[in-house]
Structure 1
Amino acid sequence: MNEQPLVPTIDGILSGLVVEGQGYEFKALLNLDDQRGKSNFIDDVVAFLNAGPGHLIVGVHEKRGSSRASSQWRVIAMPYNAASLQSFRTT
């Protein structure tokens, strides 16, 4: 039985509760401006389709098993909305 991954929060990522490999893939940046970047993105999507449900989280850089928020966030096809962003923080 496949368990659905929990909905990630910014606090969960920063604290290390949400780590890559638990239905999550972290990317510091998503480059769709060149063929290699597009190909890498498609590879990630295909891996999720083969493995089951998951989340691709852009803006998180993982280094040696621990995650930290990237200093460079790139919003993909979504207008910036501070109220919407706050919904991802735990209270």
Structure 2
Amino acid sequence: MAEKHSIAEARRHLPRLVREAEHGKTVELTRRGAPVAVLVGHRTFERLSAGRRAFVEAYREFVEAVDLSELAIDPDEVFEGARDATPGRDVRV
């Protein structure tokens, strides 16, 4: 949960609030009790503003980093029972 501070209070305690943000805390700034801005550390900002990678890009990176054969995962065992074996509904064509 973010700490909440009025803008007036934030002005008086800005160095402390910046240190808190640097250490991973989120600081919410309010005006008349309503949230108007959020103070976060640079690392958090970079992570949030970086955008999303495409799935194929993330998967390619994962495959390069992890030797799948060493994991000894049997897909048939993992996904056993995941698919409904009953026939579908009757359809007239």
**Which TM-score bucket, shorter chain as reference?**
under 0.3
Larger C-alpha radius of gyration, 1 or 2? 2
TM-score of the pair, normalised by structure 2: 0.27
Structure number with the bigger relative contact order (C-alpha 8 A, sep ≥ 6) is 1
Q: Which has the higher helix share?
A: 2
Query: Taking structure 1 as the reference length, what is the TM-score of the superposition?
Result: 0.27
